[in-house]
Amino acid sequence: MAPSNSQIAHIGLAVEDLETALSFFKDVLGHEPTGVESADGAEIASLRFGDVDIELLKPQKPDSPIGKFIAKRGPGIHHICLRVPDLDAAITDCQSKGYQMIDAEPRTGAGGHRIAFLHPKSTFGILLELTD
Amino acid sequence: MAPSNSQIAHIGLAVEDLETALSFFKDVLGHEPTGVESADGAEIASLRFGDVDIELLKPQKPDSPIGKFIAKRGPGIHHICLRVPDLDAAITDCQSKGYQMIDAEPRTGAGGHRIAFLHPKSTFGILLELTD
């Protein structure tokens, strides 16, 4: 068993419109985005809540991962990213325990972070991303 | 604009089976649940990640909120709960700014906390819960 030193890095929210979502976080909660960037065919606005980011993900095209998610399920909470001490070790550990990776090798995600997604069929329907 | 002192209290995951989900968090991440309880027709297992809980929500009956969510969308990430300094003030603030509450008055949620949900039609399709 791995040591329990993982943390939540961010939560990704699939939204159809960044401005509407940003208005809520600003008007009600007083949160301004810390940055806006593009990754995986999505425009991403990040909001910082303590040690955890909320990433608002707006698809830039229908056939992007977020575009497909919204087409199938509507806007909603897309994934949780967990920070582990060693991403390569975590991938090997997941695979050895029968959990299927979407990314068998780390790749570069938003913010230049090394990331890898697990397959939600393997993780009880929840899309989980790992980073370090 | 409210001061930006809100935090993420927990993330609720709609799952069909607690044991399968708990196995992943234990085997891969080393996390044991801090408690199991019932609320809103769901069996809830909580896992602590720093200051944020992940709540695994298993429906106890098909016509519960989580049961209906899974029937419609399949298992997935159900809601995010944000901690605000003053729940009553936040509800009044949301309503005054045109955001629709599911709970116009605070009610008691899991862990005995005072909670109120916003209507996802009002918050860009994302189900958000407030607590203090």
Question: Does residue B1 lie in a domain region?
Answer: no
pTM of this prediction? 0.94
ipTM exceeding the 0.85 mark: yes
In whole angstroms, give the CA distance from residue A7 to residue A25.
23
Joined together, the tokens standing for residue B129 give 């819960």
In angstroms, the Cα distances linking B104 to A28, A111, B43, B86, B89 are 15, 38, 25, 14, 11
Residue B76 in tokens: 């997935």
Task: Report yes or no on A25 lying in a domain.
Answer: yes
Count of domains forming chain A: 1
B32 vs A33, B27, B47, B78, CA distance in Å?
A: 33, 9, 7, 21
SS3 B47: strand
Radius of gyration of chain A (CA): 15
Confidence at residue A45, expressed as pLDDT on a 0 to 100 scale: 97
Q: Say which of A3, A21, A123 has its CB closest to residue B124.
A: A21
Q: Which amino acid is at A73?
A: R
Q: Inter-chain contact B29–A76, Cβ cutoff 8 Å? A: no
Phi/psi at A50 (5° precision): 65, -125
Asked, for residue A123, whether it belongs to a domain, the answer is: yes
Query: Do the beta carbons of residue A81 and residue A11 sit within 8 Å?
Result: yes
A2 located within any domain: no
Instruction: With a cut of 50, say whether residue B1 has pLDDT above it.
Output: no
Verify whether the Cβ–Cβ distance B80 to A79 is below 8 Å.
Answer: no
CATH number of domain containing A73: 3.10.180.10
Q: Which two tokens stand for residue B124?
A: 């860009």
Residue of A nearest to B79 (CA): A77
Structural domain boundaries enclosing B102: 7-131
Phi-psi group of B56: left, alpha or beta (phi > 0 → left; psi -120 to 50 → alpha; rest → beta): beta
pLDDT of residue B111: 85
B73 closest CB neighbour out of A6, A73, A93:
A73
Most B CBs within 10 A among A29, A48, A78, A81, hence the mutation to make, goes to: A29
Q: Which of B50, B79, B97 sits opposite A51 (nearest CB)?
A: B50
Indicate the SS3 state at residue A51: coil
Q: What is the pLDDT of residues B106-129, one digit of tens each?
A: 999 988 999 999 999 999 999 999
Is A103 a domain residue? Answer: yes
* pLDDT tens, position by position, B26-63: 999 999 999 999 999 999 999 999 999 999 999 999 99
